[in-house]
Amino acid sequence: MPSFELKTYDPERMSVSKPLFSHVATASGDMKVVFIAGQVGMDEHGKVAETYEAQVEQTVKNISMALAAAGARVTDIVKMNYYIVNYHPTDRPHVPIVLKWLNGHRPTTMLVPVQQLAKPEFLFEMDATAITPKDRVADKVPRPVPVADTTRTVDVVVVGGGLSGLQAGVDCQNSGLTTLVLEARDRVGGKTFSVPGAQGKGMVELGAAWINDSNQSHVYALARELKLDLIQQLTAGDCVVQDLDGSYSKFEYGGVPKHEKSEADNMVEMRCLLEKLCHQIDLHNPQGADWDALTLEEFIKQNGGGPTALGTARLWCRGLLGIEPRELSALYFLDYVKSGGGLMLTRSDMKHGGQFLRVRQGTQTFSKGLAAMMKPGTVQLESPVRKIEQESSSEKVLVTTESGQKIRCKRVIVSVPTPLYKEIAFSPPLPAEKQALASRTTLGWVAKTIVCYEKPWWRAEGYSGLVQSFDGPVTIIRDTSSDLDQAFSLTCFGQGDTGRAWGKLPVEDRREQVIAHIGRAFNDPSAAAAHIGTIEHMWAPEQWSQGCPCPVMGPNLLSKLGHTLRAPFENIHFVGTETAYEWKGYMEGAIRSGKRGASEVISILK
């Protein structure tokens, strides 16, 4: 019998409890009970969040911190009690926030409507009881730990439990190498992050969302291996563009928006030029110092691009990378879209395109599936790596985590994005060129707001759900529904400059702006407002993400320092979607890079 076991279940002939809670929880074995006092929406400075939703966000954050202090996790919670002021069963904005926080875990719960809490400004309170293994609690207590107690020896340590790191770990382990994956977060997946939709219907993606079944062979093979259901992205119906002057107009998918003719012709000419030039790029050795010396914005202007062409380039850069044309070099942009088969394919929602298929069970299932392929105990969460020391007298490497745990190994595979290299102390330091590259790459600003509805009302009005905006606050909207689950949603992307500005607003203002934009785009404000819930996620504030989808290079980086990106440093190898030759920035690229890194290590150690 396991030394510790926690189970939740729902007896027959009882009401449906999914997805928010379970009817029964049991715990057995060597355990410790953790009691969390009632937490409210007040931060460490005593400031109370102004809105109900913000108080719920702060409350679950406080619960998480309290759990961590006791060595427990959200998945250890067996009972939660909610205390809600002026609760009404038809108005439950706390549900999507709590669902996202629980991330599939379903403890037992009780909801207690109250007239008032300890202070009039408090609107929401929650307490919790968790049960956790005694040994894990002891390990989490902040105290000096002798090195001998925490040192472990393996062949390979993988830093990061996203798709690239997990794929590298699986391949190394399958080759016979003892392998340990160390992940900083309390979950696997990196930028794959799937949570239940409003009212628990279907899954929605807070991060990576799309694959295809033709030129993304590795991720598609994994989908088949895990027996996942795939949903084809909807392209039937009218698309909408919000032009530079703020006006909205319809156009057919694959067609050209109805700009003024000379501007439309100029935009198409610029698009064709970029499409032509990107196919001249050698992905394994991108050349073009002249292109690399210019930002994409400068390149477009120098080649006669007008306001609409430049505005369209902003759409491409925001939509693909979360940045502006002034922030990346023309060569890097050409290399990036060439890695996805060209500008048109990378942007496409159709067959062979970057946004062709979604995963009904959620793309985080890819990461969870890979983690399940690892041997028990070889994927370690909440273990940020803070130091990697290469011993000059041998081929050994010493890896140290934030908690002081030490692991000796022969090889390390680093899968974190280059801007996060600064979070790790390398000894000896990384080569000067690799440091220079890592210090100058930039992560994009991307947020998602998923707006959920009872019905896909926009389809009935003849729309596909695709909206593009030159002016924001939402750059792109896509229909991300799962019809089989009766889960209908529009995913709204805030990206680049307009996203950053939007992200500084209070949460209620952000939501109102998104809903208003949907209403104007589909010419039905009342239908847009009749949502059943919204789920928001920003990637830049996350300590272990700091942006997404992958780092980009400004002028004079790719041509001068790009060769260092994938280069090993003694016993350390580097992977991640930004290092992929094909489909960089996508899940396919992450998996391919993980396979490359594992192959490098296996060829040396086996």
Q: Summarize pLDDT for 427-460 with one digit per residue, the tens.
A: 999 999 999 999 999 999 999 999 999 999 999 9
Is residue 140 very low, low, confident or very high in pLDDT (cuts 50, 70, 90)? very low
Is residue 578 marked as binding?
yes
Q: Specify the 3-state DSSP secondary structure of 187.
A: coil
How high is the pLDDT of residue 137? 38
* Segment 82-127, tens digit of pLDDT: 999 988 887 888 988 998 898 888 899 999 998 889 888 899 999 9
Is residue 570 marked as binding?
no
Which residues share a beta bridge with 426? 388
Is residue 164 marked as binding?
yes
* Segment 191-204, tens digit of pLDDT: 999 999 988 899 99
For 15-73, the DSSP string reads: ---TTT--SEEEEEESEEEEEEEEEESB-TTSPBPSSHHHHHHHHHHHHHHHHHHTT--
CB 519 within 8 A of CB 525: yes
Residue 9 sits in the same domain as residue 128: yes
Residue 17 sits in the same domain as residue 133: yes
How high is the pLDDT of residue 517? 97
Looking at 509, 538, 567, which one is the last position of a domain?
538
Any idea how long the chain is? 606
CATH of the domain at 593: 3.50.50.60
Residue 339 sits in the same domain as residue 388: no
Instruction: Tell me the residue range of the domain where 42 lies.
Output: 4-140
Residue 324 sits in the same domain as residue 375: no
Mean pLDDT for 15-21 is 58
Task: Take residue 456 and report the two structure tokens written for it.
Answer: 């896909």
Is residue 552 marked as binding?
no
Burial (CB count within 10 angstroms: exposed 0-12, middle 13-18, buried 19+), residue 23: middle
Residue 253 domain-assigned (yes or no) = no
Residues 601, 579: Cα–Cα separation, whole Å? 16
Residue 114 sits in the same domain as residue 136: yes
Looking at 294, 323, 347, which one is the last position of a domain?
347
Q: How far is CA 64 from CA 61, 353, 363, 444, 467, in A?
A: 5, 39, 24, 27, 37
CATH of the domain at 520: 3.90.660.10
- Terminal CA-to-CA distance of the chain, rounded, Å? 36
CATH of the domain at 126: 3.30.1330.40
Pairing between β-strand 446-453 and β-strand 463-469 as defined by DSSP bridges: unpaired
For 288-309, the DSSP string reads: -HHHHTSBHHHHHHHTT--HHH
How high is the pLDDT of residue 120? 81
How high is the pLDDT of residue 149? 45
Task: Take residue 473 and report the two structure tokens written for it.
Answer: 């606050």
Range of weakest confidence among 11-15, 387-391, 528-532: 11-15
* Segment 496-515, tens digit of pLDDT: 999 999 999 999 999 999 99
Cis peptide before 428 (omega within 30 of 0): yes
Q: Specify the 3-state DSSP secondary structure of 353.
A: coil
Residue 204 sits in the same domain as residue 314: no
How high is the pLDDT of residue 415? 99
* Segment 29-67, tens digit of pLDDT: 667 888 888 899 988 788 888 888 889 999 999 888 888
Total domain count, the chain: 4
Residues 67, 83: Cα–Cα separation, whole Å? 19
How high is the pLDDT of residue 33? 84
Mean pLDDT for 248-255 is 91
Predicted confidence (pLDDT) at residue 523 exceeds the cutoff of 90: yes
Residue 329 sits in the same domain as residue 472: no
Residue 554 sits in the same domain as residue 409: yes
How high is the pLDDT of residue 142? 32
Range of weakest confidence among 143-157, 172-186, 560-574: 143-157
- DSSP assignment, residue 569? B
Cis peptide before 419 (omega within 30 of 0): no
% of the chain exceeding 70 in pLDDT: 92
Is residue 64 marked as binding?
no
Residue 370 sits in the same domain as residue 433: yes
Q: Specify the 3-state DSSP secondary structure of 557.
A: coil
Predicted confidence (pLDDT) at residue 605 exceeds the cutoff of 60: yes
Q: What is the mean pLDDT of the chain?
A: 91
How high is the pLDDT of residue 1? 40
Residue 433 sits in the same domain as residue 465: no
CB 497 within 8 A of CB 521: no
How high is the pLDDT of residue 20? 54
Residue 288 Ramachandran class (φ > 0 left, ψ -120 to 50 alpha, else beta) = left
Is residue 184 marked as binding?
yes
Residue type, 8: T
The Cα diameter of the chain in Å comes to 75
Residue 199 sits in the same domain as residue 163: no
Handedness of CA 136, 140, 146, 147 (dihedral sign): positive
How high is the pLDDT of residue 242? 94
